Homo-oligomer: A and B are copies of this chain.
Amino acid sequence: MNNKRKIAVVVTARPSYSRVKTVLSALKKHPELELQLIVAASALLDRYGSAVNYIEKDGFEIAAKVFNVLEGENLTAAAKTTGIGILELSTVFDNLRPDIVVTVADRFETMATAISASYMNIPLAHIQGGEVTGNIDEKVRHAITKLADYHFVASENAKQRVIQLGENPEMIFNTGCPSIDIAQVVAQKTALDFNPYQKYGGVGSKPDLSQGYLVVMQHPVTNEYQDSRNHIEATLRAIMKINLPTLWFWPNVDAGADGTSTGIRSFREKYKMENVHFFKNMEGDDFLNLLHHSKGLIGNSSVGIRECAYLGVPVVNIGSRQNRRDRGNNVIDVSYDEQEIIEAITTVLKEQKPDSSPVYGGGNAGEKIADLLKELPLQFHKTITY
Protein backbone atom coordinates (compact mmCIF):
# COMPACT_ATOMS: atom_id res chain seq x y z
CA MET A 1 0.00 0.00 0.00
CA ASN A 2 1.33 3.43 -0.88
CA ASN A 3 0.04 6.95 -0.40
CA LYS A 4 0.10 8.03 -4.00
CA ARG A 5 -3.10 9.43 -5.39
CA LYS A 6 -4.54 6.81 -7.75
CA ILE A 7 -5.69 8.15 -11.11
CA ALA A 8 -7.76 5.77 -13.26
CA VAL A 9 -7.88 6.68 -16.95
CA VAL A 10 -10.36 4.82 -19.16
CA VAL A 11 -9.38 4.55 -22.83
CA THR A 12 -12.13 3.24 -25.10
CA ALA A 13 -10.84 3.73 -28.64
CA ARG A 14 -7.74 4.18 -30.72
CA PRO A 15 -8.22 7.92 -31.29
CA SER A 16 -8.85 8.52 -27.59
CA TYR A 17 -5.57 6.83 -26.82
CA SER A 18 -3.70 9.07 -29.25
CA ARG A 19 -5.37 12.04 -27.67
CA VAL A 20 -4.34 11.30 -24.08
CA LYS A 21 -1.02 9.57 -24.58
CA THR A 22 0.99 12.47 -23.17
CA VAL A 23 -1.34 12.64 -20.18
CA LEU A 24 -0.67 8.96 -19.51
CA SER A 25 3.09 9.52 -19.80
CA ALA A 26 2.95 12.46 -17.42
CA LEU A 27 0.87 10.49 -14.92
CA LYS A 28 3.20 7.52 -15.16
CA LYS A 29 6.31 9.50 -14.40
CA HIS A 30 4.76 11.74 -11.73
CA PRO A 31 6.33 10.72 -8.41
CA GLU A 32 3.20 11.31 -6.38
CA LEU A 33 0.63 9.73 -8.68
CA GLU A 34 -0.21 6.13 -9.57
CA LEU A 35 -1.67 5.57 -13.02
CA GLN A 36 -4.42 2.91 -13.28
CA LEU A 37 -4.93 2.47 -17.00
CA ILE A 38 -8.19 0.79 -18.04
CA VAL A 39 -8.54 -0.27 -21.67
CA ALA A 40 -12.08 -0.87 -22.86
CA ALA A 41 -14.50 -1.18 -25.77
CA SER A 42 -13.11 -0.88 -29.31
CA ALA A 43 -9.61 -0.13 -28.00
CA LEU A 44 -9.35 -3.88 -27.40
CA LEU A 45 -10.60 -5.06 -30.77
CA ASP A 46 -8.69 -6.03 -33.87
CA ARG A 47 -11.38 -4.66 -36.12
CA TYR A 48 -10.82 -1.18 -34.78
CA GLY A 49 -7.06 -1.06 -34.72
CA SER A 50 -6.22 -2.77 -31.42
CA ALA A 51 -5.13 0.35 -29.56
CA VAL A 52 -4.26 -2.07 -26.79
CA ASN A 53 -1.23 -3.31 -28.73
CA TYR A 54 0.17 0.21 -29.08
CA ILE A 55 -0.53 0.90 -25.45
CA GLU A 56 1.48 -2.12 -24.40
CA LYS A 57 4.25 -1.37 -26.85
CA ASP A 58 4.46 2.16 -25.47
CA GLY A 59 5.25 0.61 -22.09
CA PHE A 60 2.03 1.35 -20.20
CA GLU A 61 0.88 -1.26 -17.73
CA ILE A 62 -2.80 -2.10 -18.06
CA ALA A 63 -4.68 -2.37 -14.79
CA ALA A 64 -7.86 -3.82 -16.30
CA LYS A 65 -9.39 -4.70 -19.65
CA VAL A 66 -13.11 -4.30 -20.19
CA PHE A 67 -14.75 -6.07 -23.13
CA ASN A 68 -18.11 -4.39 -23.62
CA VAL A 69 -18.74 -3.92 -27.35
CA LEU A 70 -21.96 -5.64 -28.31
CA GLU A 71 -21.97 -6.65 -31.94
CA GLY A 72 -24.66 -5.36 -34.18
CA GLU A 73 -23.43 -1.95 -35.30
CA ASN A 74 -26.80 -0.40 -34.82
CA LEU A 75 -28.12 2.14 -32.35
CA THR A 76 -29.55 -0.43 -29.97
CA ALA A 77 -26.14 -2.07 -29.74
CA ALA A 78 -24.56 1.30 -28.92
CA ALA A 79 -26.96 1.69 -25.99
CA LYS A 80 -26.33 -1.84 -24.79
CA THR A 81 -22.56 -1.45 -25.11
CA THR A 82 -22.88 1.48 -22.71
CA GLY A 83 -25.01 -0.54 -20.31
CA ILE A 84 -22.51 -3.42 -20.26
CA GLY A 85 -19.74 -0.85 -19.81
CA ILE A 86 -21.38 0.39 -16.62
CA LEU A 87 -21.74 -3.15 -15.26
CA GLU A 88 -18.10 -3.92 -15.96
CA LEU A 89 -16.50 -0.59 -15.02
CA SER A 90 -18.27 -0.43 -11.68
CA THR A 91 -16.68 -3.78 -10.82
CA VAL A 92 -13.30 -2.49 -11.96
CA PHE A 93 -13.60 0.72 -9.93
CA ASP A 94 -14.72 -1.32 -6.94
CA ASN A 95 -11.51 -3.34 -7.18
CA LEU A 96 -9.05 -0.57 -8.07
CA ARG A 97 -10.50 2.08 -5.73
CA PRO A 98 -9.16 5.06 -7.70
CA ASP A 99 -9.08 8.54 -6.14
CA ILE A 100 -10.01 10.16 -9.44
CA VAL A 101 -11.38 8.75 -12.69
CA VAL A 102 -10.49 10.43 -15.99
CA THR A 103 -12.71 10.17 -19.06
CA VAL A 104 -11.78 11.39 -22.50
CA ALA A 105 -13.86 13.31 -25.02
CA ASP A 106 -17.34 12.30 -26.11
CA ARG A 107 -17.67 8.89 -27.75
CA PHE A 108 -20.97 7.29 -26.79
CA GLU A 109 -19.41 4.58 -24.62
CA THR A 110 -17.51 7.10 -22.47
CA MET A 111 -20.84 7.74 -20.76
CA ALA A 112 -20.32 4.39 -19.02
CA THR A 113 -17.15 5.71 -17.39
CA ALA A 114 -18.86 8.92 -16.33
CA ILE A 115 -21.89 7.20 -14.81
CA SER A 116 -19.96 4.50 -12.97
CA ALA A 117 -17.55 6.99 -11.42
CA SER A 118 -20.10 9.65 -10.50
CA TYR A 119 -22.61 7.14 -9.10
CA MET A 120 -19.86 5.58 -7.00
CA ASN A 121 -18.86 8.98 -5.58
CA ILE A 122 -15.45 8.95 -7.25
CA PRO A 123 -14.34 12.42 -8.42
CA LEU A 124 -14.55 12.52 -12.22
CA ALA A 125 -12.26 14.51 -14.53
CA HIS A 126 -13.31 15.15 -18.12
CA ILE A 127 -10.81 15.95 -20.84
CA GLN A 128 -12.09 17.93 -23.80
CA GLY A 129 -15.49 19.15 -22.69
CA GLY A 130 -17.12 22.35 -23.88
CA GLU A 131 -16.70 21.81 -27.60
CA VAL A 132 -19.50 21.79 -30.17
CA THR A 133 -20.29 19.25 -32.88
CA GLY A 134 -23.37 18.05 -34.64
CA ASN A 135 -24.50 14.55 -33.62
CA ILE A 136 -24.98 12.23 -30.63
CA ASP A 137 -21.49 13.25 -29.41
CA GLU A 138 -23.00 16.66 -28.68
CA LYS A 139 -25.47 15.21 -26.20
CA VAL A 140 -22.90 12.89 -24.67
CA ARG A 141 -20.21 15.55 -24.26
CA HIS A 142 -22.32 18.07 -22.38
CA ALA A 143 -24.06 15.40 -20.29
CA ILE A 144 -20.61 14.23 -19.18
CA THR A 145 -19.71 17.81 -18.29
CA LYS A 146 -22.71 17.81 -15.94
CA LEU A 147 -21.50 14.55 -14.33
CA ALA A 148 -17.85 15.63 -14.06
CA ASP A 149 -16.13 17.42 -11.20
CA TYR A 150 -13.03 18.72 -13.02
CA HIS A 151 -12.85 19.97 -16.60
CA PHE A 152 -9.65 20.03 -18.67
CA VAL A 153 -10.69 21.85 -21.81
CA ALA A 154 -8.74 22.39 -24.99
CA SER A 155 -9.62 25.93 -26.04
CA GLU A 156 -10.79 29.24 -24.67
CA ASN A 157 -14.19 28.91 -26.33
CA ALA A 158 -14.63 25.52 -24.71
CA LYS A 159 -13.82 27.01 -21.31
CA GLN A 160 -16.45 29.71 -21.71
CA ARG A 161 -19.05 27.12 -22.65
CA VAL A 162 -18.36 24.94 -19.62
CA ILE A 163 -18.66 28.02 -17.39
CA GLN A 164 -21.98 28.86 -18.98
CA LEU A 165 -23.11 25.25 -18.40
CA GLY A 166 -23.08 26.12 -14.69
CA GLU A 167 -19.82 24.51 -13.67
CA ASN A 168 -17.62 26.05 -10.98
CA PRO A 169 -15.01 28.19 -12.84
CA GLU A 170 -12.37 27.15 -10.33
CA MET A 171 -12.68 23.59 -11.56
CA ILE A 172 -12.33 24.44 -15.28
CA PHE A 173 -8.82 24.54 -16.78
CA ASN A 174 -7.82 25.42 -20.33
CA THR A 175 -4.86 23.09 -20.57
CA GLY A 176 -4.89 22.90 -24.35
CA CYS A 177 -5.46 19.57 -26.04
CA PRO A 178 -2.92 16.84 -25.14
CA SER A 179 -2.91 15.71 -28.76
CA ILE A 180 -1.06 18.96 -29.56
CA ASP A 181 1.76 17.79 -27.27
CA ILE A 182 2.56 15.09 -29.80
CA ALA A 183 2.09 17.41 -32.74
CA GLN A 184 4.59 19.77 -31.14
CA VAL A 185 7.27 17.06 -31.18
CA VAL A 186 6.37 15.87 -34.66
CA ALA A 187 6.53 19.42 -36.03
CA GLN A 188 10.32 19.31 -35.49
CA LYS A 189 10.73 16.38 -37.89
CA THR A 190 12.04 17.29 -41.33
CA ALA A 191 11.16 14.07 -43.14
CA LEU A 192 9.02 10.95 -43.05
CA ASP A 193 11.28 8.74 -40.90
CA PHE A 194 9.60 5.39 -41.55
CA ASN A 195 8.21 3.37 -44.45
CA PRO A 196 4.45 3.17 -43.86
CA TYR A 197 3.93 0.11 -46.08
CA GLN A 198 6.63 -1.84 -44.31
CA LYS A 199 5.74 -0.79 -40.82
CA TYR A 200 1.95 -0.96 -41.02
CA GLY A 201 1.09 -3.42 -43.80
CA GLY A 202 -2.39 -2.70 -44.99
CA VAL A 203 -3.88 -3.62 -48.35
CA GLY A 204 -4.04 -2.21 -51.87
CA SER A 205 -1.41 -0.81 -54.20
CA LYS A 206 1.69 0.94 -52.89
CA PRO A 207 1.96 4.28 -54.67
CA ASP A 208 5.27 6.15 -54.60
CA LEU A 209 5.06 8.80 -51.88
CA SER A 210 8.17 10.77 -52.74
CA GLN A 211 6.34 13.37 -54.86
CA GLY A 212 3.69 14.01 -52.25
CA TYR A 213 0.47 12.26 -51.25
CA LEU A 214 -2.96 12.77 -49.76
CA VAL A 215 -4.34 11.21 -46.57
CA VAL A 216 -8.02 10.20 -46.19
CA MET A 217 -9.86 9.42 -42.97
CA GLN A 218 -13.65 9.51 -42.96
CA HIS A 219 -15.87 8.14 -40.20
CA PRO A 220 -19.59 7.39 -40.38
CA VAL A 221 -21.79 10.00 -38.70
CA THR A 222 -24.08 8.34 -36.19
CA ASN A 223 -27.35 10.09 -36.80
CA GLU A 224 -27.10 9.80 -40.57
CA TYR A 225 -26.80 6.04 -40.39
CA GLN A 226 -28.67 5.33 -43.63
CA ASP A 227 -26.51 7.75 -45.57
CA SER A 228 -23.07 6.64 -44.53
CA ARG A 229 -22.62 4.51 -47.61
CA ASN A 230 -23.57 7.36 -49.94
CA HIS A 231 -21.23 9.69 -48.07
CA ILE A 232 -18.20 7.47 -48.39
CA GLU A 233 -18.88 6.82 -52.07
CA ALA A 234 -18.73 10.53 -52.88
CA THR A 235 -15.28 10.63 -51.32
CA LEU A 236 -14.19 7.41 -53.04
CA ARG A 237 -15.18 8.74 -56.46
CA ALA A 238 -13.48 12.08 -55.83
CA ILE A 239 -10.22 10.42 -54.79
CA MET A 240 -10.35 8.08 -57.78
CA LYS A 241 -10.67 11.07 -60.10
CA ILE A 242 -7.94 13.13 -58.41
CA ASN A 243 -5.76 10.04 -58.83
CA LEU A 244 -2.81 11.12 -56.69
CA PRO A 245 -0.94 8.80 -54.31
CA THR A 246 -3.33 8.41 -51.39
CA LEU A 247 -3.14 6.75 -47.97
CA TRP A 248 -6.60 5.85 -46.72
CA PHE A 249 -7.41 5.01 -43.09
CA TRP A 250 -10.19 2.67 -42.15
CA PRO A 251 -12.98 4.19 -39.98
CA ASN A 252 -13.25 3.45 -36.24
CA VAL A 253 -16.28 1.77 -34.69
CA ASP A 254 -19.57 3.63 -34.43
CA ALA A 255 -23.16 2.77 -35.17
CA GLY A 256 -23.03 3.08 -38.95
CA ALA A 257 -19.53 1.72 -39.43
CA ASP A 258 -21.04 -0.93 -41.56
CA GLY A 259 -22.27 1.43 -44.27
CA THR A 260 -18.89 3.07 -44.55
CA SER A 261 -16.87 -0.13 -44.45
CA THR A 262 -19.14 -1.93 -46.88
CA GLY A 263 -18.97 1.07 -49.17
CA ILE A 264 -15.20 0.99 -49.25
CA ARG A 265 -15.03 -2.76 -49.73
CA SER A 266 -17.53 -2.80 -52.57
CA PHE A 267 -15.84 0.08 -54.33
CA ARG A 268 -12.49 -1.72 -54.11
CA GLU A 269 -13.93 -4.91 -55.59
CA LYS A 270 -15.41 -2.90 -58.46
CA TYR A 271 -12.63 -0.45 -59.33
CA LYS A 272 -8.91 -0.76 -59.28
CA MET A 273 -7.75 2.14 -57.12
CA GLU A 274 -4.18 2.03 -58.30
CA ASN A 275 -2.99 5.03 -56.36
CA VAL A 276 -4.61 4.13 -53.05
CA HIS A 277 -3.31 2.14 -50.10
CA PHE A 278 -5.51 1.26 -47.10
CA PHE A 279 -4.36 1.16 -43.48
CA LYS A 280 -6.29 -0.11 -40.51
CA ASN A 281 -4.36 1.98 -38.05
CA MET A 282 -1.09 3.68 -37.22
CA GLU A 283 0.66 4.84 -34.09
CA GLY A 284 -0.25 8.40 -33.24
CA ASP A 285 3.10 10.05 -33.82
CA ASP A 286 3.73 8.21 -37.08
CA PHE A 287 0.30 9.26 -38.25
CA LEU A 288 0.98 12.89 -37.38
CA ASN A 289 4.31 12.78 -39.15
CA LEU A 290 2.57 11.31 -42.18
CA LEU A 291 0.13 14.22 -42.11
CA HIS A 292 2.93 16.70 -41.44
CA HIS A 293 4.59 15.70 -44.72
CA SER A 294 1.43 15.21 -46.73
CA LYS A 295 -0.22 17.56 -49.19
CA GLY A 296 -3.41 17.50 -47.13
CA LEU A 297 -6.00 15.51 -45.21
CA ILE A 298 -9.44 14.65 -46.63
CA GLY A 299 -12.38 13.40 -44.57
CA ASN A 300 -14.01 14.28 -41.29
CA SER A 301 -11.44 13.34 -38.65
CA SER A 302 -10.98 15.69 -35.74
CA VAL A 303 -7.25 15.42 -36.38
CA GLY A 304 -7.84 17.77 -39.26
CA ILE A 305 -9.32 20.36 -36.96
CA ARG A 306 -6.88 19.98 -34.07
CA GLU A 307 -3.40 18.65 -34.79
CA CYS A 308 -3.45 19.85 -38.39
CA ALA A 309 -4.11 23.39 -37.13
CA TYR A 310 -0.90 23.27 -35.12
CA LEU A 311 1.01 21.50 -37.92
CA GLY A 312 -0.30 23.79 -40.64
CA VAL A 313 -1.58 20.91 -42.79
CA PRO A 314 -4.40 21.81 -45.21
CA VAL A 315 -7.66 19.93 -44.61
CA VAL A 316 -10.73 19.24 -46.75
CA ASN A 317 -13.32 18.68 -44.05
CA ILE A 318 -16.36 16.80 -45.34
CA GLY A 319 -19.86 17.01 -43.89
CA SER A 320 -21.25 17.78 -40.48
CA ARG A 321 -19.02 15.78 -38.11
CA GLN A 322 -16.78 18.70 -37.11
CA ASN A 323 -19.47 21.39 -37.35
CA ARG A 324 -18.95 24.25 -34.96
CA ARG A 325 -15.64 23.00 -33.63
CA ASP A 326 -13.11 25.78 -33.35
CA ARG A 327 -10.80 25.68 -36.35
CA GLY A 328 -7.73 27.39 -37.76
CA ASN A 329 -7.45 28.71 -41.31
CA ASN A 330 -6.10 25.37 -42.57
CA VAL A 331 -9.62 23.99 -43.09
CA ILE A 332 -11.87 24.04 -46.17
CA ASP A 333 -15.37 22.80 -45.37
CA VAL A 334 -17.34 20.93 -48.03
CA SER A 335 -20.49 18.82 -48.14
CA TYR A 336 -20.80 15.13 -49.15
CA ASP A 337 -20.48 16.04 -52.80
CA GLU A 338 -17.98 14.56 -55.19
CA GLN A 339 -17.55 17.80 -57.15
CA GLU A 340 -17.10 20.00 -54.08
CA ILE A 341 -14.53 17.59 -52.70
CA ILE A 342 -12.59 17.57 -55.97
CA GLU A 343 -12.56 21.37 -56.13
CA ALA A 344 -11.41 21.74 -52.54
CA ILE A 345 -8.57 19.27 -53.07
CA THR A 346 -7.54 21.11 -56.21
CA THR A 347 -7.43 24.38 -54.26
CA VAL A 348 -5.37 22.80 -51.51
CA LEU A 349 -2.89 21.39 -54.00
CA LYS A 350 -2.13 24.72 -55.56
CA GLU A 351 -1.97 26.92 -52.47
CA GLN A 352 0.78 27.47 -49.90
CA LYS A 353 0.96 25.53 -46.69
CA PRO A 354 -0.98 27.43 -43.96
CA ASP A 355 0.71 28.81 -40.82
CA SER A 356 0.56 27.00 -37.49
CA SER A 357 -2.44 28.04 -35.37
CA PRO A 358 -2.53 27.83 -31.53
CA VAL A 359 -6.30 27.36 -31.26
CA TYR A 360 -5.99 23.99 -29.41
CA GLY A 361 -2.99 24.76 -27.21
CA GLY A 362 0.76 24.88 -27.26
CA GLY A 363 2.06 21.41 -26.46
CA ASN A 364 2.30 20.86 -22.71
CA ALA A 365 -1.24 19.74 -21.85
CA GLY A 366 -0.17 16.31 -20.51
CA GLU A 367 1.99 17.73 -17.76
CA LYS A 368 -0.49 20.46 -16.87
CA ILE A 369 -3.22 17.87 -16.43
CA ALA A 370 -1.05 15.53 -14.35
CA ASP A 371 -0.06 18.40 -12.04
CA LEU A 372 -3.69 19.40 -11.60
CA LEU A 373 -4.73 15.81 -10.83
CA LYS A 374 -2.11 15.84 -8.09
CA GLU A 375 -3.23 19.15 -6.59
CA LEU A 376 -7.02 19.35 -7.00
CA PRO A 377 -9.13 18.78 -3.90
CA LEU A 378 -10.91 15.39 -3.99
CA GLN A 379 -14.60 16.17 -4.29
CA PHE A 380 -17.67 14.71 -5.96
CA HIS A 381 -20.36 17.00 -4.66
CA LYS A 382 -21.38 19.99 -6.70
CA THR A 383 -24.34 22.18 -7.52
CA ILE A 384 -25.07 24.25 -10.57
CA THR A 385 -23.73 27.82 -10.22
CA TYR A 386 -27.02 29.55 -11.04
Which residues from chain B contact A44 at a C-beta distance below 8 Å? 72
With A46-B258, A91-B91 in contact, do A85 and B84 touch (Cβ < 8 Å)?
no
User: Nearest chain B CB to A124's CB is how many angstroms away?
Assistant: 9
User: Nearest chain B CB to A346's CB is how many angstroms away?
Assistant: 31
Within 8 A of B (CB), among A62-85: 64-80, 82-85
A150 within 8 A of B: no
Q: Are B383 and A324 in contact (CB under 8 A)?
A: yes
Which residues from chain B contact A138 at a C-beta distance below 8 Å? 382-384
Residue among B65, B121, B164 making CB contact with A386, cutoff 8 Å: B164
- Count of chain A residues near B, Cβ 8 A: 74
A372 within 8 A of B: no
Residue of chain B at shortest CB distance from A133:
B383
With A115-B111, A118-B136, A119-B82 in contact, do A161 and B386 touch (Cβ < 8 Å)?
yes
A94 within 8 A of B: yes
Q: Are A120 and B76 in contact (CB under 8 A)?
A: yes
User: Nearest chain B CB to A116's CB is how many angstroms away?
Assistant: 5
Residue among B79, B115, B386 making CB contact with A79, cutoff 8 Å: B115
Q: Are A67 and B78 in contact (CB under 8 A)?
A: no
Within 8 A of B (CB), among A101-125: 108, 111-112, 115-116, 118-121
Interface centre among A85, A87, A262 (most CB of B within 10 A): A87
With A165-B165, A380-B223, A384-B138 in contact, do A67 and B70 touch (Cβ < 8 Å)?
yes
Taking Cβ atoms with an 8 Å cutoff, the residues of A that contact B are 44-47, 64-80, 82-95, 108, 111-112, 115-116, 118-121, 132-136, 138-139, 142-147, 161, 164-166, 203, 223, 258, 262, 269, 323-324, 380-384, 386
Closest 9 CB pairs of A and B: A83-B86, A79-B90, A142-B146, A79-B119, A69-B71, A143-B146, A83-B87, A143-B143, A67-B72
